[in-house]
Amino acid sequence: MRVLIIKRPIAAVIMCGILCLNTTAGRLVALSFGDIDLLNGQDWSHMAGAAVDSEGVNVRPLGRTIVNQDGSDNQVNPPINTRGPHLAFTGNIRLSATFNNASDGAVLFLYAHPPIIYDEWRAEPPTLRITTLGGSHVQAAVWDGTSDMPVETRTFSAPLTDDPFELTIERHGSWIALALNGRSLGNIRAHRTFSEGTLWFGMDALQHSWTLRALRASRLSLGRLALLGTPPLTVPHDDPSALRSLATKRDAPLTIGAAVAVHPLLTDESYRQLAVGQFSMWTPENDFKPQFVHPQPDVYDFTEGDSIVEAARAHSIAVHGHALVFGEANPRWMQQTPPSERRQVMVDHIRTVVDHYNGRVSEWDVVNEPLSDDPADYQNGNYGLRRHLWFEALGEAYIALAFRTAHEADPQAKLYLNEYGIEHEGQRWSALLALITRLQQANVPIDGVGFQTHVHSADDHVDPAVLRGHIQQLAALGVSSRISELDVHGEDQSLQASEYAQVAAACIAEPTCTSYSTWGITDRYGSTTQSHTYPLALGNDLMWDESDTPKAAYRAVQSELEP
């Protein structure tokens, strides 16, 4: 009698000898203790690219790839069901998945924890990826949490002729055994995929849509196996000393905002408590950017942005949309659009995104970072505008067109232009002021300017008098201001605190400053984390440290807001 076709290590076979039976020759049948249905009754409707129908979960190709800042392709970014079921377990387990119409390019992911998604990078957790190939192979790839790339990939010959077919994935200690319709395909080392005792699921479609008909989990050894659902989006928030509470006690309305990311919002309780409890405005940090919502010319997917908006609305938190037109974070197809077609692409993109969020997103960064970094662009009569794909195709006119299009799509929304480095005197500020003046003269519907106010180096410092002066100059033109992306280097936490406080004081003192928003909440997910580092080399620029302990900066902002 054959037990389980695991050639190595021997220990797994011996252990399985106690626990595994076989009924029909060549079939793997294990005694399991409890059987968990991960599909029925679970939430799969909030995974990007997925649609639930009577057959199961239909997965459509999104083709999401993260682009580097220079526009080149980086990692693929397939969806994860962070709002759906996940598992907590000890010991050996089996997962069985029934695939329909999936013999080529169907992908199933098991993640030890959800990846952190940055704008130009994904921090890859320990992961198992299973891919069907050409009707005849199953590929397994394993990431171990120390690199962007899989540490091991194995391709197994597998006749994917039955429809549907069932794949089983069994963890046996440090090995993973794969089987198709009960017949062993082979093994691959688990590395650290199962070492955290939790599993999250993701899927992708590389060629065409396919359907996951069933997904079940069971135990193969003594131990724990529990199905965890996502906690409700709503959490109580009534701390009178929280930033958002302090701000409402003021005469002039001022939102206290932060950039938020969907995965921690859905999966990290402590992050969610801070996001909900402390802030009255959220800016989706990356989830609204073109590469995430509009990965292919005819593919929009708003699922992740929608979850942020839904959670915001449940807590009366306003949403500031970021960013409609930007030189970065554009999917490859958008970058490769011939200049003569870019006007249409830009207009369609703005219309579709603003229309989708009409009435739910109260403000937009319509144009993000229009100013150039190259001093030459400020000379010889040039206006200092960045030469990115939109400028190259349309010249300065792209800016007015973007605002007019956004305004048409949602006449109620407040429309902002967002830029960095304009809190200082110098050519960037002069160019910005001149640009806003030209837009005003041409009756372009622009409501405000976002001062990003990133303070990332030890010799950087915001002079609050200069910042206030700039806010006042814009006010004189009838234009509001907001602090849109504040974060401050934090080696010296008291210096950091005074920087946070001074910017808050400047904003509070100016009636046209509509929001004080920071670029992130906790250093655990900060945008200044060094890309491609394993373990993560975290930055220290935010008000809460990597274990969510508030820093001096938090208390300093609290006291600025106290009446």
3-state secondary structure string across 324-367: EEECCCCCHHHHCCCHHHHHHHHHHHHHHHHHHCCCCCCEEEEE
Task: Choose one: 100-108, 116-124, 505-513, 540-548; the region binding ligand XIL (CB under 6 A).
Answer: 116-124
| Residue 119 touches ligand XIL, criterion: CB under 6 A | yes
Closest CB to ligand XIL among residues 187, 528:
528
**Which DSSP string corresponds to 371-421?**
B-S-GGGGSTT---B--SHHHHHHTTHHHHHHHHHHHHH-TTSEEEEEESS
Q: Which residue from 44, 89, 118, 390 is in contact with ligand XIL, where contact means CB under 6 A? A: 118
d(CA 403, CA 398): 9
Build a one-symbol-per-residue string for 71-110: x at contacts with ligand XIL by CB under 6 A, - elsewhere: ----------------------------------------
Q: How far is the CB of 500 from ligand XIL (least distance, A)?
A: 17
Q: Report the residue from 124, 268, 485, 499 that binds ligand XIL according to the rule CB under 6 A.
A: 485
Q: Which long-range contacts (CB under 8 A, 24 or more apart) does 128-131 make?
A: 128/169, 128/176, 128/190, 128/193, 130/167, 130/169, 130/178, 131/105, 131/106, 131/107, 131/206
> Looking only at residues 401 through 430 of this chain, which bind ligand XIL when binding is defined by CB under 6 A?
418
What are the residues whose beta carbons fall under 8 Å from the beta carbon of 490, sequence distance 6 or more? 496, 523, 539, 540, 541, 542, 551, 553
From candidates 77, 131, 221, 452, binder to ligand XIL by CB under 6 A:
452
**Using rule CB under 6 A, residue 193 touches ligand XIL:** no
Q: Which residues pair with 108 in a beta bridge?
A: 130, 203
| Minimal distance, residue 285 CB to ligand XIL, in Å | 5
Nearest to 331 by CA among 123, 485, 532, 119: 119
Closest distance of CB 528 from ligand XIL, Å: 8
Which member of 104, 120, 144, 301 binds ligand XIL (CB under 6 A)? Answer: 120
> Which member of 369, 419, 423, 560 is catalytic?
369
Segment lying near ligand XIL (by CB under 6 A), choices 84-92, 112-120, 296-304, 332-340: 112-120
Which range, of 118-126, 239-247, 351-359, 462-470, touches ligand XIL by CB under 6 A?
118-126
Write down the least CB distance from residue 317 to ligand XIL, Å: 19
- Cβ-based nearer residue to ligand XIL, 119 or 170: 119
Q: Which is nearer to ligand XIL, 169 or 324 (by Cβ)? A: 324
Minimum distance from CB of 284 to ligand XIL (Å)? Answer: 10
> Residues 286, 405, 502, 517: which binds ligand XIL (CB under 6 A)?
286
CB closer to ligand XIL out of 202 and 290: 290
Q: Is 144 in the site for ligand XIL (CB under 6 A)?
A: no
Q: Which C-beta is closer to ligand XIL: that of 86 or that of 322?
A: 322
Beta carbon of residue 454, minimum distance to ligand XIL (angstroms, whole number): 6
Distance CA 296, CA 302 (A): 13
Contacting residue, 285, 447, 545, 560, with ligand XIL by CB under 6 A: 285
Q: Which residues, in sequence order, are CB contacts of 411 under 8 Å at separation 6+?
A: none
Q: Is 292 a residue that touches ligand XIL (CB under 6 A)?
A: no
Measure the CA–CA gap between 516 and 276, rounded to whole angstroms: 16
Q: How far is CA 136 from CA 60, 103, 131, 536, in A?
A: 21, 8, 11, 38
CB 541 within 8 A of CB 497: no
Q: At 219, list the tokens.
A: 């135990």
61, 207 Cβ separation under 8 angstroms: yes
Using CB under 6 A as the binding criterion, the count of chain residues that bind ligand XIL stands at: 10
Mapped to the 3 state alphabet, what secondary structure does 467-490 carry?
A: HHHHHHHHHHCCCEEEEEEEEECC
Backbone phi and psi for residue 46, each to the nearest 5 degrees, phi listed first: -105, 25
Q: Pick the piece of the chain touching ligand XIL (CB under 6 A) from 115-123, 129-137, 216-224, 303-311.
A: 115-123
Q: Does 377 engage in binding with ligand XIL (CB under 6 A)?
A: no
Answer yes or no: are the C-beta atoms of 266 and 230 closer than 8 Å: yes
Q: How far is CA 126 from CA 19, 187, 527, in A?
A: 27, 17, 21
Q: Could you say whether residue 523 binds ligand XIL (CB under 6 A)?
A: no
Q: Which of 170, 423, 485, 560 is catalytic?
A: 485
The span from the CA of 86 to the CA of 225, in Å, is 10
Nearest distance in Å: CB 88, ligand XIL? 29
Is 491 part of the annotated catalytic residue set?
A: no
Contact letters (x/-) for ligand XIL, 321-360, by CB under 6 A? ----------------------------------------
Active site residue 369: yes
Q: How far apart are CA 506 and CA 503, in angstroms?
A: 5
- What is the C-alpha end-to-end distance of the chain, expressed in Å? 79
Q: Which stretches of the chain bind ligand XIL, using CB under 6 A? A: 118-120, 285-286, 368, 418, 452, 485, 527
Residues designated as active site: 369, 485
